[in-house]
Amino acid sequence: MAKDRHRTYIIGGAVILALALLLAIWSTVAWCRWKCTCAHFGKDRGITRFHYHDLSIATNKFSDIIGQGGFSVVYSGILNNEQVAVKKIIKDSKGEFKDFLTERATIGNTRHMNVLKLEGWCCTISNFKYWFSHTLDDVMLFLVYELIANGNLHEHLSEKPEVLSWEKRYKIVKGLCSALHYLHHQCSPYILHRDIKPGNILLDNEFNAKLGDFGLSRVAKDGEEIALQTRAVGTALYMDPLCMKDGHVDFRRSSDVYSFGIVLLEIAHGENDPFLVHKLRTDLPETFVKDFADKKLDGKFIKTEMERVILLGLRCTEREENQRPSLITATYFLENGGELRPATAAPA
């Protein structure tokens, strides 16, 4: 009897020990896989990784939605006594987090006053099933940005009752030009935004432009072109016509320049009017500044500045990409005027 009890204890102890060992092995493997998942999404060093618990507290349990797109939901919050925008990334149609990886790769290491600042990121588990399945279906990803609470350029041009003054508009033009000059010519490798439009140009309380939404952006090296085996991306009204086709699309700096030009013309005119732009391109009368300027401004603008914005917009939106200026030339022209040389022209 005693022997049977003793044998039972030994067998029971062995089973418990085996289960404990299996649990330890399973926990170790699961933890290593989780660390690999985090490492996959957090390749860039120097970018703060926040805890999900802190973001939940900062956003009052993700209660205040301030924006929503096809693959993201944006919440406002206060983190470390700073106002932030917490962007939850939603998987695309293929079940991947490409927008997250793209934004991390492009905006993560940028430092410019006219480019939206990335404060950090977060990776967490949405479901306990992850520890058994280890699939991305049970992962949640967030990007944390500085919060720009004064809306975007589209709202100020088209939706708000207050007229956006020319002084503020010209400040926005120069800020946007500075941001793109930085991305195209001062970042290495350089960055193509690919979705420049008024809705992606945020404005702070001093009406400084902050270029945001880098979900479609790409990083390229000098001498390389980005060829996309996909449908055209971006917003049709602001997209380079050379990129508006299916299949192979070569997207270059000049494609961003085209979108920039359309935005300039909208800032000057108050709305996106392709018919009027075509008319100006066909016949540029001496009165083009007065004819094209936003009537809501009631003539309250500096003529030289308005003329520069319109002419630059027209040159940036040339059908032939080799006739468009670079952002280096555009920056100089806005400050000093002079000749608008194409990006392909030899230096004077």
Q: Where are the alpha helices (DSSP H) in the chain?
A: 2-41, 52-58, 98-107, 130-133, 153-158, 166-181, 253-269, 274-282, 288-292, 303-316, 327-336
Distance of alpha carbon 124 from alpha carbon 142, whole angstroms? 9
* Residue of 4, 137, 195, 294 with catalytic role: 195
What SS3 state is found at 251? strand
CA–CA–CA angle 138, 142, 147 (5° rounding): 160
Catalytic residue list contains 240: no
Helix axes 166-181, 327-336, angle to 10 degrees: 150
The DSSP line for 31-81 is HHHHHHHHHHH--STTSEE--HHHHHHHTTTTT-EEEEETTEEEEEEEETT
Q: Which residues are catalytic?
A: 195
